[in-house]
A and B are shown apart, each in its own frame.
Chain A
Amino acid sequence: MTMSVIAVQGLGKRFGQVVAVDDLSFGVDQGKVTGFLGPNGAGKTTTLRMLLGLVTPTAGTATIGGRAYRELAEPIREVGAVLEATGFYPGRTARDHLRVMAVEAGLRGAAARADGVLGLVGLADSAGRRVEGFSLGMRQRLSLAAALLGDPQVLILDEPANGLDPEGIHWLRGFLRYLADQGRTVLVSSHALAEVAQTVDEVVIIARGRLVAHSTLEALTARAAPSVLVRSPDAATLRDLLTGNGIKAKLDGDDRVTATDTTTEAVGRLAASGGLVLYELRMDRSNLEDVFLELTTDEEIQEERPWGA
C-alpha cells in the first residue's frame, strides 16, 4: 500500500490572460521516480514552483506529505529542489553558497555538510571556487548538491539534465537511480522523454497546462505499438503481401515498408514465402518518443479544432 507523497489537486495558475496551468491533478507515490513531462511552455516549471511555495496558485492545492510547502516546519530537510541553474551569487564559492543555506536551515556542521554533498555530486575539488567560473553542468551539479543538503526524502527536480553533456546526463541517470534506491521520492521534469525513460517508474505528461497522461512507463511503452522496418527492392509487392495476410503495413519511400502490430519473424517468413529479397529487417523501438509527441500534440489539435473528436 503506497500513498501519494506529492499531491496536486485541481491546481491552476493564470498569469494575466495566460493560463499556465489548468485544473491539474496528479499524485506521486512514495519511493517512486516520476517523470514530469511536457513540451517547453507546457506549465511544468510553474507547477513545480507552486509545489515549492514560490508561485501562488490561482486555483487548487499542491501539497507534500499532506501540507503546503510554506507550512513545512523544516522545508529543506523534507524536500530538496533543483530549479534553474542560475540561482548563485557569482562571487561566492560553491561551499559558501551551501553553508549559507545550511546555517539558515539550522543544520548542524554546515561546512562539513556542504563538503559532503559536494562530494556526492562530484564537485569536491571545486568547493572553494567562485561560482562565476562554473560551467552550466557544474552549476547543475551544485543545484543537486543544494537539494541534498538537508538529506530530504522528497526531491523535486526541474530539468536537471539541462546543460549537461552526454556524460553528465549518463551520470545524472545513475544518480537519480541511486537516490530512488535509497527510498526517496523523486519528481523530475523534462521536455524530452528519452532523457528520463531509463530512470523513471511513472510518467505524468502535461501539455498546455493540462494533464494528458499519467501511467507507468510500462503502460506507456505498451501504447507504443512496436513496428517492424523492412528494406526491400520489392517494397510495394511486400506491402501487398503483408496486408494480404492481415498485417498493417505501409510504404515509406521507394524501398521501405513499415509494418505495425507484428514481429520480425512473421514478416521474415512471409517475405521468404513470397521469394522476396530483403536488405534490412528490424524492430523499431523509438516509438516511445512518438507516443509522447502524439499525446502532447493531440491536445493542441483539439484546442485548435474544438469540433473535432
Chain B
Amino acid sequence: MGRLIAGELLKLRTTRMPLAMLAGMLGFALLAVVAGILTADRLAEEGQGFALASDEGIGNVVRSASSGMFFVLVLGILAVAGEVRHKTITATFLVTPNRGRVVAAKLAVYALAGLAFGALASALTLAVALPWLAIKDIPLAGRADDIALTVLGILLASALYGLVGVGVGALVRNQVAAVTVSLLWLLIVEGLLVGLLPSVGRWLPSGAATALTRASITNGTLLPMWAGGLLLAAYGLVFAAVATRFTIRRDIT
C-alpha cells in the first residue's frame, strides 16, 4: 500500500494540474475574505447576515477559506476519471491489477491533498483577515479557540471533499460528465436545497460540509459538526465502495 500511495503522490507532483486547482482554491478564498470583510457590516444593516464584530461574522470570514473547496472535489474526480480519459489507467492497472487497492490509495492520497489545500487556503485567509480585523479594532483574543475549531472543520471538510471526489470519479469515470454533474449538483441543486429546504439539505454532502465548518443558517439547523464530518466521510467511502464493486471492475478496452 505504501508504494501505491508514494506513486499517487508522485503523480500529483509531476503535472501542473494540481497547482492550477490550488491556485483556483486560493483565488476563491482571497476573493471571499476580501469581499466578506468589505460587505459584512453593510449587509447586516440591511438585515442580511451578521455584523463583522459578532461570533458568526468572524466565523463567516474564516470560512472564506472553504469557498473554493470544490476545486478539491474536482481534483479528486480527476484522480480516477482523468486516468480513464488519458488511458493512463491501463498502466496503473498493469502495475497493480488489484483495482480496489488502487482506489484505496487514491482515497488516502486525495484526502491528504485536500487537507493540504485546506491548510494553505486557511493560512491565506487568516493572513488577510486577522491583521485587517485587528486594524478595525475587532477583538479576537477571546475567540482564538472558536477560530481554531472552525479552521479544523475546514481542514477536515477539504480532506473529505478529496475523498468524495475520488468516489464520484470512480463511480462516473467519464471526466467531463463527472465534473459537470457534480459541480451543477453541488453549487446549484444543493445550494438551493440547503438554503430553501434545510431539513433535506443538511443530509446532503454540501450540507454536511457546511455543518463541519460550523456555519449557521438562519432558517433551520444543520447537523452537529461531528455528525457532518461522519456523513461526508460516509458519502466518499460509499461512493468508492460502490464504484469498486461495479464500475471499476469494468473492462479497460
Contacts and interface: CB of A to CB of B under 8 A. Distances in A.
Given A56-B249, A72-B97, 17 more contacts: A49-B251, A53-B97, A55-B252, A75-B95, A88-B88, A89-B11, A90-B86, A92-B14, A92-B15, A96-B14, A99-B14, A100-B10, A101-B95, A103-B7, A104-B3, A104-B6, A104-B7
B251 A55 contact: yes
Contacts of A96: 10, 14
A-B pairs, 9 with minimum CB distance: A104-B7, A96-B14, A87-B87, A70-B97, A54-B252, A55-B251, A106-B3, A103-B7, A104-B95
Interface stretch (A30-38, A78-86, A232-240): A78-86
A26 B107 CA distance: 40
A52 B90 CA distance: 10
A81 B97 CA distance: 13
A66 interface: no
A56 B249 CA distance: 9
Given A90-B86, A92-B15, A100-B14, A105 B93 contact: no
6 contacts: A45-B253, A55-B252, A87-B88, A89-B82, A90-B86, A92-B11
Contacts of B96: 75, 104
Interface of B: 3-4, 6-7, 10-11, 14-17, 82, 86-98, 249, 251-253
Interface residues of A, number: 34
Contacts of A70: 97-98
Contact of A91 (B16, B89, B94): B16
Interface in A31-70: 45-46, 49, 52-56, 69-70
Contacts of A72: 97
A25 interface: no
B252 A75 contact: no
A145 B4 CA distance: 21
Contacts of A93: 14
A8 interface: no
B219 to A, nearest CB: 45
B18 to A, nearest CB: 11
A146 interface: yes
Contacts of B88: 87-89, 97
A91 B92 contact: no
B135 to A, nearest CB: 42
Nearest to A104: B7
A76 interface: yes
B15 A89 contact: yes
A76 B10 contact: no
Contacts of B14: 92-93, 96, 99-100
A84 B87 contact: yes
B249 to A, nearest CB: 8
Nearest to A83: B90
A53 B102 CA distance: 15
Contacts of A97: 88, 91
B40 to A, nearest CB: 40
Contacts of A49: 251-253
A100 B7 contact: yes
Contact of A53 (B17, B86, B89, B93): B93
Given A89-B86, A104-B3, A75 B94 contact: yes
A53 to B, nearest CB: 5
Given A69-B97, A70-B98, A104-B3, A91 B251 contact: no
A83 B93 CA distance: 12
A80 B89 CA distance: 16
B91 A101 contact: yes
A101 B6 CA distance: 11
Nearest to A52: B94
B90 A76 contact: no
Interface string A106-128: 10000000000000000000000
Tell me which of A52, A90, A100, A105 has the highest count of chain B C-beta atoms within 10 A of its own C-beta.
Answer: A100
B190 to A, nearest CB: 31
Nearest to A76: B95
Contacts of A46: 253
A146 B91 contact: yes
Given A88-B88, A99-B10, A81 B17 contact: no
A237 to B, nearest CB: 58
Contacts of B252: 49, 54-55
Contacts of B3: 103-106
A100 B11 contact: yes
Interface centre among B3, B88, B94 (most CB of A within 10 A): B94
B17 A54 contact: no
Contact of B4 (A53, A88, A104): A104
Which of B86, B92, B96 has the most CB atoms of chain A within a 10 A radius of its CB? B86
Contacts of B94: 52-54, 75-76, 81
A155 to B, nearest CB: 13
Contacts of B7: 100-101, 103-104
